A and B are shown apart, each in its own frame.
Chain A
């Protein structure tokens, strides 16, 4: 059975940035925003690797990541537990993510700054739809 529900796909369109936490081998956590979490299939996602940053260095030491996603219409949220599998620098997933990152960059005034270096593919370890986070306003 696939772990990612259909309803989560809208939270992976890059409308609202997602957040990723990784951890270095020395135990120091790192919290960072990420432009897009890309739906690969029911058990895999891809994160955009745009800079050789601390997230990327941490994943080389420790493949685990925690991601928080927000649905752009319902504002429901999910916690994903991920494990880094491999990076792709060409192919259909990379091409599609590259186009979407370009579109996001244009939209948020970061053209020329946001540039996809690789699509980092992760195996989904767990998915939790959060509860108790939302209040009606």
Chain B
């Protein structure tokens, strides 16, 4: 079960990075714009711009292994590792969730003192639609805040 704080960060103003790999163990990266933790607290859906989904989807269809980094500007960070379940195009409900997520990102960046000329392009400038929803089951959760405790398994 994903701990409360990690659920909160997945839904809150966090920066989300996805890692996958191909059959030759060559890693790939993409970012997500918003996420949803399902009621079972193990299943997670992330919303990836379709323009950047092609490589990771090929990886996920072939081997299913996924990592999701979750970090806030404070450097508090966690990582989920799990198995791919499914994908679909984002729908209106996802889009509403993404809009709310983007709003919290901007408010957070401005609130901690980022100048407008950095906060806005950093939080609002990345494509999010058309989007691809990717669902996976989290099997492990790690603390990733920089420091000696980084890498500690939480689940």
Please state if A21 and B67 are interface contacts (CB–CB under 8 Å). yes
Please state if B28 and A21 are interface contacts (CB–CB under 8 Å). yes
* Chain B minimum-CB-distance residue to A82: B27
* CB of B18 closer than 8 Å to a CB of A: yes
Please state if A134 and B31 are interface contacts (CB–CB under 8 Å). no
Task: Give B contacts to A, CB under 8 Å.
Answer: 15, 17-21, 25-31, 49, 51-52, 63, 65-69, 71, 75, 77, 79, 81, 118, 120-122, 124-127, 142, 144, 146-148, 150-151
Please state if B26 and A81 are interface contacts (CB–CB under 8 Å). yes
Using C-beta atoms within 8 Å of the partner chain, give the interface range for chain A.
Answer: 35 or more
Please state if B65 and A29 are interface contacts (CB–CB under 8 Å). yes
Q: For residues 40 through 87 of chain A, which have their beta carbon under 8 Å from a beta carbon of chain B?
A: 50-51, 53-54, 62, 64-68, 70, 72, 75, 79, 81
Give, as a whole number of angstroms, the nearest-CB distance from B27 to chain A. Answer: 4
20 A-B interface contacts by CB (under 8 A): A19-B31, A21-B17, A23-B21, A27-B63, A28-B67, A30-B19, A30-B67, A31-B29, A31-B68, A33-B15, A51-B148, A51-B150, A54-B142, A68-B31, A113-B146, A114-B146, A130-B52, A132-B52, A134-B125, A135-B127
* CB of A16 closer than 8 Å to a CB of B: yes
Give, as a whole number of angstroms, the nearest-CB distance from A134 to chain B. Answer: 6
* Chain B minimum-CB-distance residue to A25: B25
Task: Tell me whether A75 and B121 are in contact in the complex, defined as CB-CB below 8 angstroms, given that A21-B27, A29-B66, A62-B25 are known contacts.
Answer: yes
Give, as a whole number of angstroms, the nearest-CB distance from A80 to chain B. Answer: 10
* Chain B minimum-CB-distance residue to A108: B75
Task: Tell me whether A133 and B51 are in contact in the complex, defined as CB-CB below 8 angstroms, given that A19-B17, A110-B75 are known contacts.
Answer: yes
